[in-house]
Amino acid sequence: MTTVRLTQMEEEAWSKSDDERFFGEIYREYFPRIYNYVLYRVNNHHDADDLSNEIFVKIFTSLNRYQAEKASLPVWIFSIARNSVIDHYRRGLQPATSLDVISDLSDSRPGPDDTVASRELWQHLREALASLSQREREIIALKFWSGFSNREIAGVIGISESNTGVTLFRAMRRLRLILESQGVEY
């Protein structure tokens, strides 16, 4: 996705928010990223499907209120997704996020997931991620599973871009130290 495309999408969202064809473009562009983010957060494919669909209903019904000058389109969309996940937990529909879903989101190349070494690495990674704070795990999910920049993450979470970068750096350093202390080679 290019910057030009996002600018065009944002302008179109602002001027033609009731256009169903435009919503279809948004859906095709963002559904995989939203779904992976939600799946990481709720650790349940059924709930991830339901929540992702609920998120896109909210996007569709709110598109006429989107203001490009306040937030970029991906930040606005992921803010809706993040708030929906938070609401999901507030309703008490799921316990705290389990990190077992990470293996589902792992590298899709054939082979490594079938090896014992790969399974052990993912197990160590899940354990290391579990030692991080909820905010650190959320930043990592947005960065690596949804492909967001630090600026976009800051917009979604509501912290500064520099705070995002520092938090990400410290979380990655902690992960590396934990994995190294367990003798894990990666």
pLDDT tens digit sequence for 113-136? 456 666 777 788 888 888 999 899
Closest CA to 139 of 113, 171, 110: 171
Whole-Å CA distances, 38 to 11, 79, 139, 167: 27, 12, 13, 21
Residue 100 has pLDDT above 60, yes or no: no
For 73-86, what is the mean pLDDT?
Answer: 92
Domain 102-186 in this protein, CATH class: mainly alpha
Residue partners of 140: CB distance under 8 A and separation at least 6: 129, 132, 168, 171, 172
Query: Percentage of the chain with pLDDT > 70?
Result: 75
Domains 1-97 and 102-186 alike in fold: no
Query: Encoding tokens for residue 109?
Result: 């190349």
Annotated domain spans of the chain: 1-97, 102-186
Q: What is the pLDDT of residues 38-67, one digit of tens each?
A: 988 888 889 999 999 999 989 988 888 888
pTM across the whole model: 0.60
Asked whether residue 109 carries a pLDDT value surpassing 60, the answer given is no
Q: What's domain 1-97's architecture? A: Orthogonal Bundle (1.10)
